[in-house]
Amino acid sequence: MNKSELIKHIATTAGLTQVQATASLQALETAVIDTLANGGAVELKGFGTFKATDRAERQGRNPKTGEAITIAASKNPTFKASKAFKDALN
């Protein structure tokens, strides 16, 4: 399912127009990104938790030249599914 299919599904399920469903999805995306960028976590009971994790600086290699390079530290978003979500899949 891609984003446009998700919007259609939200509109149908919630009885919204596609414009309203698009606005709702964009608001959710923005809220999650802003919260993670500010060091917080977003916990949706029965669905899962979004949070940012720190990734340390590390050494890597340029595959073309074999030269050692330093890969900068970064933050990566992670998602951990809730038990209810996992149970629904199994």
pLDDT of residue 31: 97
Domain enclosing residue 37, as ranges: 3-89
- pLDDT, tens only, 55-83: 999 999 999 999 999 999 999 999 999 99
Tell how far CA 71 is from the center of its chain.
23
pLDDT of residue 9: 96
**Number of separate domains in the chain:** 1
Of all residues in the chain, the percent with pLDDT exceeding 70 is 100
Q: pLDDT class for 44, splitting at 50, 70, 90?
A: very high
- Return d(Cα 53, Cα 2) in angstroms, integer: 26
SS3 32: helix
- Return d(Cα 44, Cα 49) in angstroms, integer: 6
Give the CATH number of the domain where residue 44 resides: 4.10.520.10
Residue 24 burial class via C-beta count within 10 angstroms: exposed 0-12, middle 13-18, buried 19 and up: middle
Tokens matching residue 76: 């990566």
The model carries a pTM of: 0.80
Q: pLDDT class for 2, splitting at 50, 70, 90?
A: very high
